[in-house]
Amino acid sequence: MTEFQPADRQARRRALLLLVTAAGLGCVAILSRDGIARAVGLRIDLVRWLLPAVFAGSAVAAALWAWRLGARIVASGRFPPPGTPVVRRTPILTGDSAKRRGRALQWLGVTLLILLVLLSAIAWQLMRLLAAMAGASGPSRLIP
């Protein structure tokens, strides 16, 4: 018979609040980046680099979270790891099936970091190309 870990209502509320807040702040930042720059006296070029840095930081945080959770699962041999609140009723896995899930989470973390590096390199090259094109057509520059 499968054992279940009950849902934690407080964890569900915190997860929903975090999701709504992050989505709202992200939308506001994207839609009003020029206005934000003028309001705080930053150069538009700096904001164009600051927002991707914030999003990259979020990806790094997600990768580290996945790696650490996977490591806890592998070490304990249980999914979800002991003491971890869950947002819905979750079947408890033990043994090899839990360790496979933990290793999969660790691979997810590594994959996120690799993709972040690759996408950053592509974006950097694209910005250099756009800056070169803008430099050829006029005084405006995309890269300070």
**How are beta strands 93-94 and 90-91 bridged, if at all?**
unpaired
In a domain, 54, yes or no: yes
Residue from 75, 120, 131, 117 nearest 98 by CA: 75
In a domain, 97, yes or no: yes
Q: What is the pLDDT of residue 44?
A: 61
The model's confidence at residue 42, banded by pLDDT at 50, 70 and 90, is low
In a domain, 144, yes or no: no
The model's confidence at residue 72, banded by pLDDT at 50, 70 and 90, is very high
Rounded distance, CA 112 to CA 28, Å? 25
Domain that residue 68 falls in:
4-137
Q: What is the pLDDT averaged over residues 28-43?
A: 67
Among 24-33, 68-77, 84-93, 114-123, name the most confident range.
68-77
In a domain, 143, yes or no: no
Residue 88 in this model has a pLDDT that exceeds 80? yes
In a domain, 85, yes or no: yes
- Looking at the 3D structure of the chain, how many domains does it have? 1
